[in-house]
Structure 1
């Protein structure tokens, strides 16, 4: 429950950037994802999830809506600025709330407004799915 509420609150804070948020289903698990500027996080959320707030850091949140069921999951991926060939590996931090919802957070450098390309591999209960999306991330 808190995972979904947290994602909703994050999305509400992100204004235009939240419009690019997306979702997909892997097996029986709904996956929600969104990229954002880390300084949009409230100090309380940043402290709770041990995330850095900065005007030079973007963040990626991937939420697994497990409907209260236990799942085995791993996430790995890369990020690159659109038009660039070199991708940077993302380091994900897993957070499981009291209701069992699973969030993965990763942070990456952002120097100017630009579109980032995310290439993510999700493994959920033995099922693998690739997620590739682009999103504008802009310091304000």
Structure 2
């Protein structure tokens, strides 16, 4: 077999795999649009935060801790987070609810909001986040995530 056809086949396989992964990634929604603004959200295990950053912002890192991360950007060309007010809650499948207290984090031009929460391994939570956008409108973002301990 000549090297060029093998390379072409390898590239085709890599392209197919990356497009399949991209389609899978699109299934998990990570933002909501409200007029000129986009609210981007994620939930991640606290171990993803580097120890020096955790210490700087007094964030607790533990296997049973996660952070809800929310930022508001301009929908067109918005690369930096905007100041906003937010509050929310996380509710498990048996309707036990816990409040989310968001802390504003500013790093250079970036502005985002983190809320810490404890969770059980393989716990599915529904997050309701109330956001006051820079234009004064109040919107609610609702999303569900299953959390696993590392």
Residue 34 of structure 2 is aligned to residue 26 of structure 1: yes
Q: Which has the higher contact order (CA 8 A, sep 6+)?
A: 1
Gaps of 5+ in 1: 1-18
Deviates more, 1:70-79 or 1:109-118: 70-79
Q: How many residues align?
A: 122
| Runs of 4 or more consecutive aligned structure 1 residues displaced over 4 Å after TM superposition | 68-72
Provide the TM-score with structure 1 as the length reference.
Answer: 0.74
CA 1:128/1:111 → structure 2, altered by over 3 Å: closer, same or farther? Answer: same
Cα distance, 1:21 vs structure 2? 5.7
* TM-align CA RMSD: 2.6
Distance 1:40 1:63 in 2: 18
Gaps of 5+ in 2: 1-26
Cα distance, 1:69 vs structure 2? 8.2
Provide the TM-score with structure 2 as the length reference.
Answer: 0.70
CA 1:25/1:111 → structure 2, altered by over 3 Å: closer, same or farther? Answer: same
